Copies of this chain bind each other. A is one copy, B any other.
Amino acid sequence: MRQNFDESADPSFGREHAPLIRQAMAAQGLDGFVIPHEDEHQNEYLPAANDRLAWATGFTGSAGAAVLLKDKAAIFVDGRYALQVRDQVDTDLFEVRDLVEGGVPAYLQAEAQAGWTIGYDPKLHSPEALEKLRGAAAKAGAALKPVTPNPLDAAWGQSRPAQPQAPVSPHPIQFSGEDSVAKRERVGQALAAQGADAALITAPASSAWLFNIRGGDVIRSPLPLSQAILNADGAARLFLDPAKVTPDLPAWLGNGVTLETPDALAAALGDLSGRRVLVDPSASSAWYFEALERAGAKVIRGADPTALPRACKNPVEIEGARQAHIRDGGALARFLCWVATEAAETLPSELDVVARLEGFREATGALKDLSFDTIAGAASNGAIVHYRPTRRLAKRLERGSLLLVDSGAQYLDGTTDVTRTVAIGTPSEEMRERFTLVLKGHLALARVRFPAGTTGSALDALARVPLWSAGLDFDHGTGHGVGSYLGVHEGPQRISKLPNTVALRPGMIVSNEPGYYKEGGYGIRIENLQVVTEPGEIVGGERPMLGFEALTLAPIDRALIVKAMLTAEELAQIDAYHARVLAVIGPSVEPAVRAWLETACAML
C-alpha cells in the first residue's frame, strides 16, 4: 500500500508547537512571525521536513498561511478548506481567516502594533507576497525583519524530519523525447531573445524537465529538489545534494552541465554580477532576488523559461501519455467492474475502494507512484471537493447514492488523473439529471475546436453553461495542466474562470473536470485528461482549428445519463467515446471484465 489513511496532524500540533515557536520568536526579539504554506521551492506538495504550516497549526491543506503574534494568532485558508481547517486546528488558539479576502496583509495591518518587529523567512515568500506584507506592516507602524534560521525551524529542532535525499536518476530519451542539450539550447536561445544572459531556475519540475532527470524528494511527484543556473549558450550549473546523485547521473548530464552542491549556490549567484538574469517572481522566493541584487546582477522578472516548452509535450511524450492511459485504462476497467459487480453488493468502506484501485494499478507492474492520494468519496463525502479518506472520516458505500473516485498514477511514460462517478444501487432522478448536466459540460469542452490564441479562460464557460442554465455551478477550476511523469498540476495553461493569458498550444495536456456537489448529499465529477491537437483543416472551413484528443479511457456510468437531455450530437459523441474505450481497453482485460466493459460501453 502506497496510500495510508492516517491523519498526519491534528489540533494538538498547534497547542504543543505554537508555544515553542513563540519562545524562539522572543529569543530573536520578534513580536510576530509569518508562516506560509510554501517552502523554499514554492512546491505544491511538500516534503515532511518543510511542512511548517502543518507542524505549527495542524492544518494539512495544500494552500494557506498562519501568523503567530506574541499575544494572538490566525490561520488563513481559502473557501475549499473552510470545514477542514476547523477540524484540524484548535480555533481557540488560531482565529480562522480567509486567505483571499484581506488575507495575511490585512491581518498584519490591523493587529500588529506600532514598533513591533514581525519576522519572516525570505526563502519562503515570493517577492510579490513580501511586497504586500511590507506595505501592511508599514501601515501598522511595524517593521518586517528577515530571520535565518527562522524561529519555527529553530523550535522544530531535532524533531524535524530530515531533508529528503531520494536518488536522482536519468529520465531516458525514450520517455522525454528530446535530449537535454537540445532543450538547453532551445531555452537558451529564448533567453538571449529576451535580452537575458542567464536564468535562475528554482522550480524542481523545471530542472527535472531541462536535464531529463527524476527524483523522489516529494510525495506523488518524482521531483529532485534542486536549483540551476542556465546560460544563454545552453551551459548550466545544477545544484544537487551529492547524496542524491546516482552513479549514472554525471555522465548523463554531460559536459555542458556542472554538478555542484547546494552550498555552492550562494557563491554562484555572486558570479552573476553585472549579468542580466531572468527569474520568475511566481516561482522563486524573495531570497533569490535579494541575493542576485546584492551580487550586482541585473534581475529580469519574467516567466520561468522552461514552463511553456515543458507544458507543450513533444510527440514522444504524447505517445507516452497515450500508452500510460491505455495501461491505466485497463486498471480502471477492472476497478469499475469490481465496483459495479462486487462493491455495489458488499458496500465496502472507502478505504477498501482506495486499496482495490491501487492494487489494480500495482498489478500493471509499471506503477511508480500514485500521482496524488486517491479521493474516494461515498455519498456525502463525495460533496467535499478536497476530501481524502482517513480511518476517522471514511464512510461505507451507500445504496441509492453515488461514489466519486478521483485518482491518478505516475508511470515512466506519463502521469494520469481521472475522475469517475458511479451509481451504487438505484440513483435518484435528481442525481441522474445533475450528472447529465455535468456530462453535457464535459462533452462540450471535449469536442470544441478553437483557433490559435484561444486561452483556457475563454473555454471555461463551455463546461458550465448547462449547469448555469439549471441554476447550478461548481466552485473549482475546470481544468489544470498535467506533467509528463512530473507534477499532476502544472502551468502555465489553465481552464478556469480566472483570467489567464496563456493560449492553449498543441501538446499541452489539460484536465476536463466539471462537477456538481450537493453538500451533505453527494458529489459528481467527470474528469478526463485531453491533449491539445495540432491545428487541423475542417472540411468546408477556412481556418485551421486546434482541438482536444481524449487521453483518459474509462466508461462513464450509463445508469447516470438521462438520454432525453442529450442532443443528437452529444449522444453520438458519448457513443463514439465508449466505442473507443471498448476497442482500445477491451483486448487488454480478462473475459469477465471485458464482458462487463461491453455492457458499460454499449450505445445509449
User: Which residue on chain B has the smallest CB distance to residue A451?
Assistant: B473
User: Which residue on chain B has the smallest CB distance to residue A519?
Assistant: B542
Chain B hits for A458, CB < 8 A: 457-458, 460-461, 497
- Tell whether, in the assembled complex, residue A499 and residue B499 are in contact, meaning their CB atoms are under 8 Å apart: yes
User: Which residue on chain B has the smallest CB distance to residue A568?
Assistant: B567
- Tell whether, in the assembled complex, residue A540 and residue B451 are in contact, meaning their CB atoms are under 8 Å apart: no
- Tell whether, in the assembled complex, residue B567 and residue A470 are in contact, meaning their CB atoms are under 8 Å apart: no
Q: Chain B nearest CB: distance from A102 CB in Å?
A: 15
Bits for A537-580, please: 1 = Cβ < 8 Å to B, else 0: 11111111100000000000000000000010000000000000
- Tell whether, in the assembled complex, residue B450 and residue A542 are in contact, meaning their CB atoms are under 8 Å apart: no
- Tell whether, in the assembled complex, residue B471 and residue A543 are in contact, meaning their CB atoms are under 8 Å apart: yes
Set B449, B453, B468, B540: member contacting A545, Cβ < 8 A: B468
Q: How large is the interface on A (under 10, 10 to 19, 20 to 34, 35 or more residues)?
A: 35 or more
> How far, in angstroms, from A454 to B543 measured CA to CA in the complex?
29
Chain B hits for A471, CB < 8 A: 449, 537-545
- Tell whether, in the assembled complex, residue B538 and residue A453 are in contact, meaning their CB atoms are under 8 Å apart: no
Interface residue A501 (Cβ < 8 Å from any Cβ of B):
yes
> How far, in angstroms, from A468 to B567 measured CA to CA in the complex?
19
- Tell whether, in the assembled complex, residue B537 and residue A453 are in contact, meaning their CB atoms are under 8 Å apart: no
Bits for A455-470, please: 1 = Cβ < 8 Å to B, else 0: 1011111100100111
Interface residue A268 (Cβ < 8 Å from any Cβ of B):
no
User: Which residue on chain B has the smallest CB distance to residue A447?
Assistant: B469
Q: Chain B nearest CB: distance from A300 CB in Å?
A: 15
> How far, in angstroms, from A427 to B537 measured CA to CA in the complex?
26
Interface residue A448 (Cβ < 8 Å from any Cβ of B):
yes
Chain B hits for A542, CB < 8 A: 471-472
Q: Chain B nearest CB: distance from A497 CB in Å?
A: 6
> How far, in angstroms, from A472 to B497 measured CA to CA in the complex?
25
Bits for A467-505, please: 1 = Cβ < 8 Å to B, else 0: 011111100000000000000000000000101110000
User: Which residue on chain B has the smallest CB distance to residue A459?
Assistant: B461
Bits for A420-453, please: 1 = Cβ < 8 Å to B, else 0: 0000000000000000000000001001111101
Q: Chain B nearest CB: distance from A331 CB in Å?
A: 34
> How far, in angstroms, from A459 to B538 measured CA to CA in the complex?
24
> How far, in angstroms, from A453 to B497 measured CA to CA in the complex?
9
Chain B hits for A500, CB < 8 A: 499
Q: Chain B nearest CB: distance from A449 CB in Å?
A: 5
Set B448, B449, B497, B544: member contacting A454, Cβ < 8 A: B497
- Tell whether, in the assembled complex, residue B462 and residue A465 are in contact, meaning their CB atoms are under 8 Å apart: yes
> How far, in angstroms, from A254 to B100 measured CA to CA in the complex?
44
> How far, in angstroms, from A542 to B460 measured CA to CA in the complex?
20
Q: Chain B nearest CB: distance from A436 CB in Å?
A: 13
Chain B hits for A497, CB < 8 A: 453-454, 458
- Tell whether, in the assembled complex, residue B451 and residue A469 are in contact, meaning their CB atoms are under 8 Å apart: no
User: Which of A453, A500, A538 has the largest number of chain B CB atoms within 10 A?
Assistant: A538
- Tell whether, in the assembled complex, residue A499 and residue B457 are in contact, meaning their CB atoms are under 8 Å apart: yes
> How far, in angstroms, from A453 to B100 measured CA to CA in the complex?
15
> How far, in angstroms, from A470 to B545 measured CA to CA in the complex?
9
Set B447, B468, B501, B539: member contacting A451, Cβ < 8 A: B468
User: Which residue on chain B has the smallest CB distance to residue A544?
Assistant: B471
Chain B hits for A473, CB < 8 A: 451, 543
> How far, in angstroms, from A102 to B451 measured CA to CA in the complex?
23
- Tell whether, in the assembled complex, residue B449 and residue A469 are in contact, meaning their CB atoms are under 8 Å apart: yes
Chain B hits for A543, CB < 8 A: 471-473
> How far, in angstroms, from A472 to B542 measured CA to CA in the complex?
6
Set B457, B470, B538: member contacting A470, Cβ < 8 A: B538
A192-244 at interface with B (beta carbon < 8 Å):
none
Bits for A559-603, please: 1 = Cβ < 8 Å to B, else 0: 000000001000000000000000000000000000000000000
- Tell whether, in the assembled complex, residue A472 and residue B567 are in contact, meaning their CB atoms are under 8 Å apart: no
> How far, in angstroms, from A567 to B543 measured CA to CA in the complex?
25
> How far, in angstroms, from A538 to B467 measured CA to CA in the complex?
11
Chain B hits for A468, CB < 8 A: 448-451, 545
Chain B hits for A465, CB < 8 A: 444, 448, 462
- Tell whether, in the assembled complex, residue B461 and residue A450 are in contact, meaning their CB atoms are under 8 Å apart: yes
User: Which residue on chain B has the smallest CB distance to residue A496?
Assistant: B458
Bits for A499-515, please: 1 = Cβ < 8 Å to B, else 0: 11100000000000000
Q: Chain B nearest CB: distance from A242 CB in Å?
A: 45
Chain B hits for A447, CB < 8 A: 469
Given A448-B469, A457-B499, A458-B458, 20 more A-B residue pairs with CB atoms under 8 Å apart are A444-B465, A448-B465, A449-B471, A451-B468, A453-B497, A454-B497, A457-B457, A458-B460, A458-B461, A459-B461, A462-B462, A469-B545, A470-B540, A470-B541, A471-B538, A471-B542, A471-B545, A472-B542, A499-B499, A499-B500
User: Can you report 18 A-B residue pairs in the complex whose CB atoms are below 8 A from each other?
Assistant: A444-B465, A448-B461, A449-B469, A451-B468, A453-B497, A455-B499, A457-B457, A458-B460, A458-B497, A461-B461, A470-B538, A470-B541, A471-B538, A471-B540, A471-B542, A472-B541, A473-B543, A499-B500
Closest 3 CB pairs of A and B: A471-B541, A471-B538, A499-B499
